Amino acid sequence: MGILRFMLLVSLGLVLFGLKTTVSQPQQAQVPCFFIFGDSLVDNGNNNRLISLARANYRPYGIDFPQGSTGRFTNGRTYVDALAQIFGFRTYIPPYSRIRGQALLRGANFASGAAGIRDETGDNLGAHTSMNQQVELYTSAVEQMLRYFRGNTNELQRYLSRCIFYTGMGSNDYLNNYFMPDFYSTSTTFNDKTFADSLIKDYTQQLTRLYQFGARKVVVTGVGQIGCIPYQLARYNNRNNSSGRCNERINNAIVLFNSQVKNLVDRFNKGQLKGAKFVYLDSYKSTYDLAANGAAYGFEVVDKGCCGVGRNNGQITCLPLQTPCPDRTKYLFWDAFHPTETANILLAKSNFNSRAYSYPMSIQELANL
């Protein structure tokens, strides 16, 4: 490890080690509204009424959340819950499936477990709301919001231009599509490069559509180090070795995709979408650093789910009424796929006012524009 890399990790470790997993809030929200698009990492209940295996509205999910099992795929708060608190929202941004009327003006969460950039992604798990469908739901929401501005599209545009839009997509396009050849044909149709190219082409259109309907401050997160989640550790090491190594075949494909997402952000910021500002979050690097320096952050277990079945608690995800680990704060992962509340809060705080994992500015700088 190079000396600069070592010094960066040490400094980040000291910063994050000092962060408490409580979130202090400003007196008033820094932005008027917060719109969220994504998958199960940020879904907070949109899948609850769908016929799908990608649901989390049962115990012990939500065991540490005040409202209990709401459909969040973790023990407590998600990453965007923590961000909403840091922004100063007094309540969490609700799922779009439960929003009515004027509440839309505070924002909405359109995320759906198993969703991807491609429409067919996640079909192996049942019903879900793809990114294309989430974008269309958002355009319908904009039409609803227009009535509160008496049909004045310019006023609504000015309002939306002050809001933060968060989008995190791509994980399922690899986990529940490209690297699932028994169910999908994409791995025979594409190679790693052409599949990433295809995803970026679709993602460009989807993000442009958000821009056309008012998005001007947009946070786009890359895909995390999913070759190292408990699910992959259980599958990969069971078939190939017992050394606990990550599945670098998947990680290498993710790095390729992430580099293209960052390039897309550059293109948008250099005039392709006039008046908009995009921020890229390097989730791959942030999740790598969190796992590699787990002890510095208070984690004792970084390769197993707190709740699950089989090797690494990752062969089968957390089952209804299963007893999870007693101290969730010691675990990086809640289940086979998703971080614990503690990890989510640490990641949100480290991303908010630092450029260590954000480009070309921090989330706070974006909000202040």
Query: Using one digit for the tens of pLDDT, what is the confidence trace for 152-189?
Result: 999 999 999 999 999 999 999 999 999 999 999 999 99
Residue-level pLDDT at 28? 79
Residue-level pLDDT at 236? 74
Residue closest to 340 by CA, chosen among 290, 296, 292: 290
* Cα dihedral: 249, 288, 81, 312 (round 10): 70
| Angle, vertex CA 334, rays to CA 329 and CA 338, nearest 5 | 125
Residue-level pLDDT at 112? 98
Residue-level pLDDT at 18? 37
Residue-level pLDDT at 110? 98
Q: Residue 203, Cα to own-chain centre: how many angstroms?
A: 15
Residue-level pLDDT at 29? 86
Residue-level pLDDT at 12? 42
Q: Which residues of the chain have pLDDT under 50?
A: 1-19, 240-242
Residue-level pLDDT at 60? 98
Residue-level pLDDT at 3? 41
- The region, left, alpha or beta by phi > 0 then psi within -120 to 50, assigned to residue 42 is alpha
Percent of the chain with pLDDT over 90: 87
Residue-level pLDDT at 68? 97
Alpha carbons 310 and 359: distance in angstroms, whole number = 38
The residues near 276 (Cβ < 8 Å, ≥ 6 apart) are 211, 215, 216, 217, 218, 268, 269
Alpha carbons 288 and 267: distance in angstroms, whole number = 26
Catalytic residues: 40, 335, 338
With contact defined as beta carbons under 8 Å apart, do 340 and 287 qualify? no
User: To which residue do tokens 């299963």 refer?
Assistant: 322
With contact defined as beta carbons under 8 Å apart, do 42 and 71 qualify? no
